[in-house]
Structure 1
Amino acid sequence: MKDAEARALLRDLFDAALAAARPATCLAPYIEKLQPPKGRTIVIGAGKASAAMAKAVEDQWPHALEGLVVTRYGYGEACRRIEIVEAAHPVPDEKGRAAAGRILERVKGHTPDDLVLCLISGGASALLALPAPGLTLADKQEVNRALLKSGANIVEMNTVRKHLSAIKGGRLAIAAQPARVLSWLISDVPNDDPGVIGSGPTVPDRTTFADALAVLSKYRIDAPAAVRAHLEKGAAGGIEETPKPGDPRMAHVETIVVATPQRSLDAAAAVARKRGVEVIVLGDNLEGEARELGAEHAQKAIEHARRASKPTVILSGGETTVTVRGKGRGGRNVEYLLGEAIEANGAPGIWGLAADTDGVDGAEDIAGGLFTPDSLARAHAMGRDPKAMLDDNDGHSFFEMLGDSIVTGPTKTNVNDFRATLIAP
């Protein structure tokens, strides 16, 4: 397979994965079935896909509604009846804090005849940044930065976030009682656990204050004194826990996951098969250190290339982690991809693509990258050492200098990471 053909195929697979997760598409069957309540409909939400979800509801549901949604800067939509606020991600800012406070107030004081429609996607954990009493936004920002660098996985990170929040971990649903609460979620987490997506603001929480303290201890995070005191007080029973499964206050809460990473992998697989390419799907919930998973997948590709009789693509999703030790520009997808490229070591007939479906890998407005059989050779010809760049967590610089970054702009959806390794000897 020629290089241009391989590149085009990988990008077509990624585009198919994105298309399957577009809010206007994946919400349509649920909007069609939604019956208007006797009372008011209040739409609230948070996440990188939440504004596009709100726009889909406005455009496709003909009944009266109002609301407020917070999304990442650049991910807004022009809505008429639902207010859209843009705020910072992945480290929260004052606009996110203020919007979260307004959302919490917006759901209070309703009746059983009213409907609170909650639209949640990945990114909501940072965007719904309402500190618990006694904590400040600065406290949450410091902990968030430390968690992002620590190598903690998303379940661990959100365990901490829930217990530092006045709105996450089911507290938003409690505040909305006695109204009916219906949540539509776009999953960006392994195993599509509703309690982890966006830190589950309307979902019962299985984790505890003690669990949050254990995460800080495991990753040796030196949290602000107020944060540690808050968690220790909660673990000792001095602060009310998040609502747990079976809590009667959650009886009128319904949660539906409307888009998942697996559906996007299925869409990409269908495109590959139509092109005569064999498909191997490793799963939609892969975790682990990004560079190590990349190396593992390179080994799989090399082994498959020895016996392959036709082009094959290996697909996977999930959310890896990065332990930040360097000072480079990196995200988990380019870290994975550079690790894979180094392990493949220029093996002929192997290409790889890894990108975040939200269009943002780490803190960069770059979705990810693509490596080719000659990526390492081109880097060496430019006087750069790929292994040194990986050690410096500098994946974005690596693929950018080769002209192999993937830039989508705001995709306005988020079903986690997409990875495809093409073997076409």
Structure 2
Amino acid sequence: MNPRELLRGSFQAAIDAANPLQIVPLHLPDPPKGSTWVAGAGKAAAAMAQAVEAHWPAHAPLHGMVITPHGHRLPTRRITVIEGGHPLPDAQGEQATRTLLEAVRRLGPDDLLLGLFSGGGSSLLSAPIVGLTLDAYQAITRQLLLCGAPIQAINTVRKHLSIALGGKLAAACRAPVHSLIISDVTDNDPTHIASGPCAPDPTRFQDVLALLERYAISVPPPVMQLLHTHSQQGIEETPKPGDPLFRNVKNRVIATAHQSLAAAARFFQARGITPLILGDTVTGEAREVAQVYTAIAREVRHYGNPAQAPAVLISGGETTVTVKGSGRGGRNTEFLLALALALSGLENVYALACDTDGIDGTETSAGAILTPDTLDRATQLGLDPAASLDDNDTATFFEQLNDLVITGPTHTNVNDYRAILVL
């Protein structure tokens, strides 16, 4: 296999390791005495719903609704699939969230709420709290996504602005809750995945106010007054760890980034390439992470340390981008262009950086591929790599080189996948 095929093959192995159709059936609970109602949200929600339908006993009552991003719908028979806005919430997601909550409130002690959650659920369960309009919610979310804040900070805000996040979905339910979760966060903590609809939330409105100030998020005065009132009076606060309502709630993480990295490592190992897993919890500014990885790749290439070539550096996690330019791109193409500039054409080094959901930021590509001649080919086309990076126009850069990786929706999401191949 040539280097491009090796990298694409390893990425597919990582995606396959998080395939809901294979994973969900292994973790399904027994049907209850009453009926089972499915509530789900996220990029993997439709595939998870399909898996439940395929393996749920035919005689057992099964109904429900899952919300997935536009373009991620899959055919189902007993569970309704609704499409909503991502990464910005929209009116369809808001209405679906309210409908879903009403159904959950009607469940009784003999029923079961089966949660199906994955990354992306935070924007899909988008109905805002009383006193907050959807327009204001969208404006705050937009700023949070551009400011370089880690996902845990963003989700702390979203938990408190939505009527269904931060354990509020479980709080609305009188039936036992069993949630199956595909993790797209670095610590695999259910409270952070899809903003934890059925998980206790240790944060408070005071934390929201502190984060809005720290990241200089512009909030209309009436909304700020609303948040201050909630903070001072404890209004609509999220349920906390130790709350008795969670005695009948189970949150089970069934797929993680590390499982996918391990699958990719096996893919390379079977082809005689030494895999080095650098971790599934990589965070920080994408271009700064690229500098660190450049140093490791040079060490392997020049000195055979910590492994002799052929070797591959594999990592996951979620980097961030503080957007200052006006171009098109995501954190993976940002990482790759910074890596290209730092490597400066280092011989026999190739790389791929993609999001396992098939969407790099707001782009239609999953990410891109870097080759040793990336900068040379860019020069021949009259492109300025440094200027593209400064303008956060990295998707456009790789698009012009025909090096974007386009998969379409993968119907799963275990965060980013990066592989730097040193031959």
TM-score of Structure 1 vs Structure 2, range by shorter chain: over 0.9
Identify which of 61, 76, 92 aligns with 1:64: 61
**How far apart, CA to CA, are the structure 2 residues paired with 1:270 and 1:328?**
37
1:226 is matched with which residue? 222
Question: Which structure 2 residue ranges, 5 or more long, are not aligned?
Answer: none
**2:375 counterpart of 1:380:** no
**How far apart, CA to CA, are the structure 1 residues paired with 2:389 and 2:261?**
27
**How far apart, CA to CA, are the structure 1 residues paired with 2:121 and 2:275?**
33
1:236 is matched with which residue? 232
**Which string of whole-angstrom CA distances, capped at 9 and with x for unpartnered residues, describes residues 38-57 of structure 1?**
01100110001001100100
**Which string of whole-angstrom CA distances, capped at 9 and with x for unpartnered residues, describes residues 163-194 of structure 1?**
11111000000001x20011000000011110
1:52 is matched with which residue? 47
2:9 is matched with which residue? 12
5 Å-filtered alignment, 1:295-334, equals 295-308=291-304, 309-334=308-333
5 Å-filtered alignment, 1:276-291, equals 276-291=272-287
- Alpha-carbon distance, 1:109 to partner: 2.3
**How far apart, CA to CA, are the structure 2 residues paired with 1:330 and 1:220?**
23
- Alpha-carbon distance, 1:238 to partner: 4.3
**How far apart, CA to CA, are the structure 1 residues paired with 2:366 and 2:171?**
36
1:325–1:393 contact (8 Å) kept in structure 2: yes
2:116 is matched with which residue? 119
SS of residue in 2 equivalent to 1:18: helix
2:368 is matched with which residue? 369
SS of residue in 1 equivalent to 2:284: coil
**How far apart, CA to CA, are the structure 1 residues paired with 2:64 and 2:106?**
14
**How far apart, CA to CA, are the structure 1 residues paired with 2:43 and 2:228?**
32
Q: TM-score, normalised by structure 2?
A: 0.97
1:22 is matched with which residue? 19
**2:251 counterpart of 1:255:** yes
SS of residue in 2 equivalent to 1:119: strand
Distance change >3 Å, CA 220–CA 259, structure 1 → 2: same
1:289–1:323 contact (8 Å) kept in structure 2: yes
2:336–2:370 contact (8 Å) kept in structure 1: yes
- Alpha-carbon distance, 1:375 to partner: 0.2
**How far apart, CA to CA, are the structure 2 residues paired with 1:310 and 1:325?**
37
- Alpha-carbon distance, 1:123 to partner: 0.4
- Alpha-carbon distance, 1:310 to partner: 2.8
1:83 is matched with which residue? 80
Identify which of 158, 162, 179 aligns with 2:155: 158
Q: Which amino acid aligns with 2:401?
A: L
2:53–2:78 contact (8 Å) kept in structure 1: yes
- Alpha-carbon distance, 1:237 to partner: 2.3
Identify which of 34, 41, 45 aligns with 2:36: 41
**How far apart, CA to CA, are the structure 1 residues paired with 2:258 and 2:339?**
22
**How far apart, CA to CA, are the structure 2 residues paired with 1:97 and 1:229?**
23
**Which string of whole-angstrom CA distances, capped at 9 and with x for unpartnered residues, describes residues 308-344 of structure 1?**
2330000000011110000000101111111111101
Q: Which amino acid aligns with 1:410?
A: P
Identify which of 152, 156, 166 aligns with 1:169: 166
1:163–1:231 contact (8 Å) kept in structure 2: no
1:92 is matched with which residue? 89
Identify which of 104, 107, 111 aligns with 1:110: 107
SS of residue in 1 equivalent to 2:38: strand
**How far apart, CA to CA, are the structure 2 residues paired with 1:337 and 1:143?**
29
1:172–1:201 contact (8 Å) kept in structure 2: yes
SS of residue in 2 equivalent to 1:43: strand
Misfit runs of 4+, over 4 Å: none
SS of residue in 1 equivalent to 2:419: strand
**Which string of whole-angstrom CA distances, capped at 9 and with x for unpartnered residues, describes residues 366-394 of structure 1?**
10001000001111111111010000001
1:295–1:342 contact (8 Å) kept in structure 2: no
**How far apart, CA to CA, are the structure 2 residues paired with 1:257 and 1:397?**
36
Question: Which structure 1 residue ranges, 5 or more long, are not aligned?
Answer: none
SS of residue in 2 equivalent to 1:251: helix
2:289 is matched with which residue? 293
2:166–2:195 contact (8 Å) kept in structure 1: yes
- Alpha-carbon distance, 1:106 to partner: 1.0
SS of residue in 2 equivalent to 1:369: strand
The share of aligned pairs that are identical, in percent, is 50
2:301–2:309 contact (8 Å) kept in structure 1: no
**How far apart, CA to CA, are the structure 1 residues paired with 2:251 and 2:134?**
29
**How far apart, CA to CA, are the structure 2 residues paired with 1:170 and 1:190?**
20
Q: Which amino acid aligns with 1:194?
A: P
SS of residue in 1 equivalent to 2:172: helix
Say what the alpha-carbon RMSD is for the aligned residues.
1.0
Q: Which amino acid aligns with 2:364?
A: D
1:44–1:117 contact (8 Å) kept in structure 2: yes
2:267 is matched with which residue? 271
Q: TM-score, normalised by structure 1?
A: 0.97
**How far apart, CA to CA, are the structure 1 residues paired with 2:157 and 2:411?**
26
SS of residue in 2 equivalent to 1:236: helix
**How far apart, CA to CA, are the structure 2 residues paired with 1:357 and 1:21?**
9
SS of residue in 2 equivalent to 1:387: helix
**How far apart, CA to CA, are the structure 2 residues paired with 1:59 and 1:86?**
21
**How far apart, CA to CA, are the structure 1 residues paired with 2:124 and 2:348?**
42
**How far apart, CA to CA, are the structure 2 residues paired with 1:378 and 1:302?**
22
- Alpha-carbon distance, 1:64 to partner: 2.2
SS of residue in 1 equivalent to 2:233: coil
**How far apart, CA to CA, are the structure 2 residues paired with 1:165 and 1:180?**
22
**How far apart, CA to CA, are the structure 2 residues paired with 1:229 and 1:55?**
43
**How far apart, CA to CA, are the structure 1 residues paired with 2:51 and 2:221?**
43
